Amino acid sequence: MRKSIAFCLPVIAAGLFMAAPAAAQDAAAGEKVFNRCKACHTVEAGGPHKVGPNLHGLFGRKAGGAEGFKYSDAMASSDVVWSNETLHEYLKDPKGYIKGNRMAFAGLKKQEDLDNVIAYLEQATK
């Protein structure tokens, strides 16, 4: 009995870890989450700035770095470079992550929404 349990636990754990990235990469679901952002942001190359900056080329860009958009001093002077990790933290709590920024969005509270919208942004902003 102990041998079968010892064998099953690693197999179950491996299955859980393999399933997690699939859920984390649901860009179609992320596009639906991004509908909350469309009033202020565009993602296409050459798209206009709105209340917020165009997000095309977001990954690897310094926060406050979209040319032609007037950022808050807090955003412009931050040392943040947008990545999967920094976007997770920022979109969870924009005001807490970069204190003094002007984004009027309270943040995404569900981890699944965060994962999905970032998967969408990784595709849509290239």
**Residue 15 three-state SS:** helix
Percentages helix, strand, coil for the chain (3-state, rounded to 5) are 50, 0, 50
What is the C-alpha separation between 41 and 37, in angstroms, rounded? 6
Does the pLDDT of residue 15 top 50, yes or no?
no
What is the C-alpha separation between 99 and 11, in angstroms, rounded? 44
What is the C-alpha separation between 94 and 84, in angstroms, rounded? 15
- CATH number for the domain including 34? 1.10.760.10
* 57-93 pLDDT tens trace: 999 999 999 999 999 999 999 999 999 999 999 999 9
User: Model-level pTM?
Assistant: 0.79
Query: How many structural domains compose the chain?
Result: 1
Q: Domain limits at 49?
A: 2-124
Question: In the block, which residue shows the tokens 């080329």?
Answer: 57
* 56-65 pLDDT tens trace: 999 999 999 9
